[in-house]
Each structure stands twice: as C-alpha cells, then as structure tokens.
C-alpha cells in the first residue's frame, strides 16, 4: 500500500506540473496577443526607415496611397494612421500616405532635342506630351523640336500639364519623276543614277528570251512616279 500511495502521489504531482506549464504557456500567449505598444512617429521617413522603426515595436506598415506634397520629398511618408503616440496592440498595421513629390515642376527646356529624348524627360518629370505639329525647315534636322508650349524660362506648372511641340521635318527634298528605263542597258543607267545621287539598292538578274544580257526588264518605282534622291530604286536585268 505505501508503494501504491507513493506512485499515486507522484502521478498527482506530475499532473499538477503539466497543468501548471500549460496554463503558463496559455497565459503568456494571451498576454502577448494583447500587448499594447506606442506607435512611433514615422512621418518624413522613407518606407524602408519606417518599416525598421515599426518592426522594433512589432508593428507593420501598410501603404494607403500617395499624394503630392511640397513639404516632403518623393518617397517620404506624409501622414500615418494611427497617429504617433497612439496605443495599439502589436502585430497591427500602421497605414501611411507617401509623397509623390511636389505637384509643381519647372518647365524643361526641350528645344533642339529629339522628340524621343524629350518624351523621356517628360516621363521623368511627371509631365505629359501634348499636341505635335510639324513643318519643314533647314534650321533643324528632322525630328528635332523647334518650339514648345509652355515655353521654358523658370516658370512652374503642374506635373499633369501637357507640353505641345513644333517638330522639324527637315529641309524640303526636291522631287523627281522616275524615268522609263525598260529596254535600256543596265550598266550605263545605274552609273548615271548614282552620279546624280540616286540610290540603286537592288539589282536582280533573270533569263529573258530574245534579249541580250544586261538589259533592264523591270523597274521600281514605275516610270513617272515621284521620287527623292533618298528613294530606293530596284531593277531587274536580263542575263
């Protein structure tokens, strides 16, 4: 009997220990779940800096949106919710508004630049490309900006403002009528065209019954078609 009592007493103590440990773990979890912390002030900080500060308090960051701001640089936090100093439970998010930078930006000087380069500058500044007009001029090469509205000069405009451009088409090219080369000797025609500054880009040779080798069978552009000196000319020649 004494041995049985001792065993029963030992089992009772073991049961008490298990109950005590389980209660301690449960209580610890309840306390941790309900732990209250003070929200740090993260206004004016970058998102990375704010996340580090919040992590120390076992809080998380949640982006609520973006707004223009003349006070805070692009990427800095403008406001937070809950406010700094508020008491909240751990593992809760702090919602923030992030700055998109100032709504106003100085008008960039884009005259003389290519339209492609200007579009890149506009994208970086948050501006938009508006209407594009074109004229021929010998002052600027083709594709270069001649004038812009609004004009540069230190004035500031909203980032969503479109800029309108007048773009050069280059100098007006003289136009010529394509001559009829069918039946002529290819060698002399090609030499003459090149001497005049025209581009013979493609010469193909085909068998044509009854014709001596070297005679032009087909041509492109067709006779009478308007061409410029940069136009490409293709010929088919007998062999």
The CATH T-level fold of domain 176-238 is Trypsin Inhibitor V; Chain A (3.30.10)
- Any idea which residue has 């041995």 for tokens? 3
Same fold, 36-102 and 176-238: yes
| pLDDT at 1 (0 to 100) | 46
- Residues of the chain predicted below pLDDT 50: 1, 24-28, 30-32
| pLDDT at 235 (0 to 100) | 96
55-74: pLDDT as tens digits: 999 999 999 999 999 899 98
Q: What angle do CA 189, 179, 217 make, to 5 degrees?
A: 60
104-168: CATH, from 3.40.50.970, 3.20.140.10, 3.30.10.20, 3.40.50.720: 3.30.10.20
Contacts of residue 3, Cβ cutoff 8 Å, sequence gap at least 6? none
Q: What's the half-sphere exposure (Cβ side, CA atoms, 13 Å) at 226?
A: 3
| pLDDT at 153 (0 to 100) | 84
Beta-bridge partners for 128: 162
Is CATH 3.30.10.20 the classification given to domain 36-102?
yes
> Nearest CA to 129 among 113, 98, 102, 101?
113
Domain ranges of the chain: 36-102, 104-168, 176-238
| pLDDT at 236 (0 to 100) | 96
Strands in the chain per DSSP E = 36-38, 60-67, 77-81, 87-89, 93-99, 104-106, 128-135, 145-149, 156-158, 162-168, 176-177, 199-206, 216-220, 226-227, 232-238
Is pTM beyond 0.75? Reply is: no
Q: Which two tokens stand for residue 58?
A: 């076992």
14-55: pLDDT as tens digits: 655 665 555 544 444 544 456 999 999 999 999 999 999 999
Q: How far apart are CA 136 and CA 116, in angstroms?
A: 19
Contacts of residue 58, Cβ cutoff 8 Å, sequence gap at least 6? 35, 37, 90, 91
């Amino acid at each position: 009997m004494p041995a049985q009592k001792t065993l029963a007493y030992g089992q009772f103590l073991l049961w008490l220990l298990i109950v005590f440990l389980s209660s301690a773990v449960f209580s610890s979890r309840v306390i941790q779940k309900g732990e209250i912390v003070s929200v740090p002030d993260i206004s004016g900080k970058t998102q990375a800096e704010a996340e580090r500060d919040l992590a120390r308090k076992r809080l998380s960051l949640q982006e609520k949106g973006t707004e223009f701001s003349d006070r805070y640089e692009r990427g800095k936090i403008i406001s937070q919710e809950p406010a700094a100093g508020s008491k909240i439970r751990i593992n809760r998010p702090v919602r923030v508004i992030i700055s998109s930078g100032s709504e106003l930006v100085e008008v960039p000087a884009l005259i003389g630049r290519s339209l492609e380069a200007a579009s890149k500058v506009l994208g970086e500044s948050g501006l938009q490309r508006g209407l594009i007009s074109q004229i021929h001029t010998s002052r600027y090469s083709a594709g270069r900006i001649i004038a812009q509205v609004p004009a540069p000069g230190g004035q500031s405009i909203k980032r969503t403002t479109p800029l309108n451009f007048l773009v050069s088409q280059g100098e007006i090219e003289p136009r010529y009528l394509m001559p009829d080369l069918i039946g002529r000797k290819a060698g002399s025609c090609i030499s003459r065209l090149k001497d005049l500054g025209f581009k013979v880009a493609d010469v193909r040779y085909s068998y044509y019954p009854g014709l001596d080798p070297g005679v032009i069978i087909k041509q492109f552009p067709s006779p009478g078609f308007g061409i410029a000196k940069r136009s490409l000319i293709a010929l088919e020649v007998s062999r």
